[in-house]
Structure 1
Amino acid sequence: MESLVLERQHELSLRDFPIEGEETLGPRDVRIKLHTVGICGSDVHYYTHGRIGPFVVNAPMILGHEASGTVTEIGAEVTTLAVGDRVCMEPGVPDPNSRATRMGMYNVDPAVRFWATPPVHGILRPSCVHPEAFTFRLPDNVSFAEAAMVEPLAVGVHAATKARIRPGDRALVLGAGPIGLVTALSALAGGCAEVFVADLDAAKLEIAAGLSPAIRTIDVSRDDPAGTVLKATDGWGCEVVFEATGSAKAAAGVFAPLCPGGVVVMIGGQPEPISYDAGAAMVREARVENIFRYAHVFPRCVAMLASGAIDVKPLITRTFDFSESVRAFEVAASAPKGDVKMQIELPQ
């Protein structure tokens, strides 16, 4: 089937690509016609660098893992989905018998098969087969484009859950990219009274400010995030800091705006070891949480989109046709100012 293939670093092609063994429908699987696929930073990183940490692209690989579509066929034992259902899909499928999965931490199962993570192919292609257990029906008022945002939103919801937000907390999100902004929305949905969002990109900060009157933006080219937060909180600091930049410089300062007893949630992937101010953490009795993808949150995300508790539509800043997929990645790799989430629509 025609697919967007990462042939090797810096080389993409839209071509017919055989997917051996991955299209067989099992008794508890569903076949899905893809509709919308988001371009994730990890997809772009594989394109520009050919690897992410230990995951190396050693053979041609189909990209894409943020997706929505329509069920076209169901396995003999499927009971919760039917042909014609509009769905979104959780891209990581763990080993059900692994110790991590049995503990409920299936996202850190070393054997998890995650779309577009070598050697597993992604879903920038016409159709895929996926387990019923990781496929979620969409309410009528959730569009395919919104549904393709559930995967990144799940990261934000997982981060907010790990933070154990209490009603009235104040939070700082470092980074106004897709993950930073869905984290800000998730923090508000979780009960935060105010969320500060810090970034260098003024256009993204403008989008952030438009998401909620409870979001306050900080342009780090002009203002210090810690200083701004401390001034706004009478020197106390905020209860939660989310690090969503993946920048070692930003990560080194996560304790400065944090109040005593507060929590730091590390979201952004760090390619190298980072500086950690143990003294600053100690005097605050700070709690530090780390997240890897997400677990058990897809149904919550779908429910919040359906109810209007979270609106991700302003984050979708550009949409390409499937035929423009190579160009779409070239644009995404250029990191244009003001673009948050780019998506690709497949032919229907």
Structure 2
Amino acid sequence: MKAKALVLEKQRELSLRDIDLPDQLGPDDVRIRIHTVGICGSDVHYYTHGRIGPFVVREPMVLGHEASGVITEVGSHVSHLKVGERVCMEPGIPDPTSRAAKLGVYNVDPGVRFWATPPVHGCLTPEVIHPAAFTFALPDSVSFAEGAMIEPFAIGMQAVVKARMQPGDVCVVTGAGPIGLMVALAALAGGASEVLVSDLVEEKLAIAGRYAGITPVNVSRESLRAAVDRRCGEDWGADVVFEASGSPRVYDDVLACTRPAGAIVLVGMPVEPVTFDIVSAQAKELRIETVFRYANVYDRAIDLIAAGKVDLKPLISETFDFDESITAFERAASARPHDVKLQITLDA
């Protein structure tokens, strides 16, 4: 099937053109008319760098993996979804017979096929086919725009699940980018009494500070350690520290700001080698968790949005029409400090 799509031809070259895409609906699949797609940092990184680690763009690839839409056709084995239903989609498709999938950690299945990760096409095209098992109905109270935000929010949910938080925990999030804010909101929904969010960019911190329970910390004016000492007491620290910046320079602060026997959750992915003081972590008996995407959290993420426990709408900075997709990506690549999430609508 030929379909119009936003295609990354190669590094720094995008086109909006027809491309051959799969059209075979399997018995366990659904066909979805795409409505809204969010632009993720990984999409932008593929555009600007042509690769992320071992994943290299070697041939034209459709971008986009944060999406919502409407079901237009269901496979013969699908009974829990119906035509006309509004949905969002979990973009990683594991091998259900893999050892990782059987353990419930399908996100780390080496065979996962993830939208817009070479060589797998993404969803910035009017129609996609997707497994029904990874397609989730949206309640009437959840908009298409919010539905397309479930994917990045799921990363925050995964981080909080891995943290094994307790009600009333004081948390720190390093990095006030889109994922850092998602982690902070998930931590509040998970029972945190307060979340300190650190960054260097005042515009990002101002957005974080709009939420009750989030305390922004501008580390260009005050050290994170000083802010944590003021909140938690000297020589103690936060119950959980989430590293969401990807900066290799924050790890000393991460260690220093975690209380003895507290938890560190590594969410951001550094692009440079990191120096990590293992002895200091051992001396505090810190528990260190890592996050790679998410598993088994989509339904709970949707429920939190539907219940009004988490409001993602303030994080949507601007919405573009499908025909403006290239402009939207150029805007995202410019990294304006007041932008959190840019979205593209295909079925306005």
Residue 254 of structure 1 deviates from its aligned partner by 1.1
Deviates more, 1:270-279 or 1:305-314: 270-279
Deviates more, 1:265-274 or 1:138-147: 265-274
Kindly indicate whether residue 21 of structure 2 is the aligned counterpart of residue 9 of structure 1: no
Q: Which amino acid aligns with 1:137?
A: A
Residue in 1 that maps onto 2:221: 222
Residue in 1 that maps onto 2:290: 290
Kindly indicate whether residue 202 of structure 2 is the aligned counterpart of residue 199 of structure 1: no
CA RMSD of aligned residues (A): 0.8
- 8 A Cα contact 2:224 2:253, kept in partner: no
Deviates more, 1:83-92 or 1:338-347: 338-347
- 8 A Cα contact 1:201 1:338, kept in partner: no
Residue aligned with 1:320, SS: strand
Q: Deviations over 1:179-213 (max 9, x none)?
A: 1001000001101101000011211111111122x
Q: Which amino acid aligns with 2:180?
A: G
- 8 A Cα contact 1:35 1:68, kept in partner: yes
Looking at structure 1, the residues matched to 244 and 209 of structure 2 have their Cα atoms a distance apart, in angstroms, of: 17
Residue in 2 that maps onto 1:187: 187
Looking at structure 2, the residues matched to 37 and 26 of structure 1 have their Cα atoms a distance apart, in angstroms, of: 24
Residue in 2 that maps onto 1:254: 254
- 8 A Cα contact 1:68 1:148, kept in partner: yes
Q: Which amino acid aligns with 1:273?
A: P
Residue in 1 that maps onto 2:158: 158
Looking at structure 1, the residues matched to 337 and 106 of structure 2 have their Cα atoms a distance apart, in angstroms, of: 36
Looking at structure 2, the residues matched to 106 and 319 of structure 1 have their Cα atoms a distance apart, in angstroms, of: 32
Looking at structure 1, the residues matched to 276 and 195 of structure 2 have their Cα atoms a distance apart, in angstroms, of: 24
Residue aligned with 1:73, SS: strand
Q: Which amino acid aligns with 1:72?
A: T
Looking at structure 1, the residues matched to 315 and 284 of structure 2 have their Cα atoms a distance apart, in angstroms, of: 34
- 8 A Cα contact 1:34 1:126, kept in partner: yes
- 8 A Cα contact 2:88 2:148, kept in partner: yes
- 8 A Cα contact 1:241 1:263, kept in partner: yes
Percent of aligned positions with the same letter in both sequences?
58
Query: Where do residues 237-252 of structure 1 align in structure 2 (5 Å cutoff)?
Result: 237-252=237-252
Looking at structure 1, the residues matched to 23 and 163 of structure 2 have their Cα atoms a distance apart, in angstroms, of: 39
Structure 2: gaps of 5 or more residues:
none
Residue 252 of structure 1 deviates from its aligned partner by 4.0
- 8 A Cα contact 1:252 1:274, kept in partner: no
Deviates more, 1:271-280 or 1:174-183: 271-280
Looking at structure 2, the residues matched to 159 and 288 of structure 1 have their Cα atoms a distance apart, in angstroms, of: 11
Query: Where do residues 326-345 of structure 1 align in structure 2 (5 Å cutoff)?
Result: 326-345=326-345
Residue 230 of structure 1 deviates from its aligned partner by 1.3
- 8 A Cα contact 2:36 2:347, kept in partner: no
Residue aligned with 1:254, SS: helix
Residue 232 of structure 1 deviates from its aligned partner by 1.6
Q: Which amino acid aligns with 1:111?
A: G
Residue 253 of structure 1 deviates from its aligned partner by 2.8
Residue 124 of structure 1 deviates from its aligned partner by 0.3
Looking at structure 1, the residues matched to 250 and 13 of structure 2 have their Cα atoms a distance apart, in angstroms, of: 31
Residue in 2 that maps onto 1:323: 323
- 8 A Cα contact 2:6 2:124, kept in partner: yes
Deviates more, 1:25-34 or 1:245-254: 245-254
TM-score (norm 1): 0.98
Looking at structure 2, the residues matched to 23 and 69 of structure 1 have their Cα atoms a distance apart, in angstroms, of: 17
Looking at structure 2, the residues matched to 108 and 147 of structure 1 have their Cα atoms a distance apart, in angstroms, of: 24
Count of aligned positions: 345
Residue in 2 that maps onto 1:266: 266
Residue aligned with 2:209, SS: helix
- 8 A Cα contact 1:211 1:314, kept in partner: no
Residue aligned with 1:162, SS: helix
Looking at structure 2, the residues matched to 77 and 85 of structure 1 have their Cα atoms a distance apart, in angstroms, of: 17
Residue aligned with 2:206, SS: helix
Looking at structure 2, the residues matched to 102 and 347 of structure 1 have their Cα atoms a distance apart, in angstroms, of: 37
Residue in 2 that maps onto 1:119: 119
- 8 A Cα contact 2:28 2:78, kept in partner: yes
Looking at structure 2, the residues matched to 111 and 125 of structure 1 have their Cα atoms a distance apart, in angstroms, of: 24
- 8 A Cα contact 1:45 1:51, kept in partner: yes
Structure 1: gaps of 5 or more residues:
none
Looking at structure 2, the residues matched to 164 and 140 of structure 1 have their Cα atoms a distance apart, in angstroms, of: 31
- 8 A Cα contact 2:158 2:294, kept in partner: yes
Q: Which amino acid aligns with 2:13?
A: E
Query: Where do residues 90-105 of structure 1 align in structure 2 (5 Å cutoff)?
Result: 90-105=90-105
Runs of 4+ with deviation above 2 angstroms = none
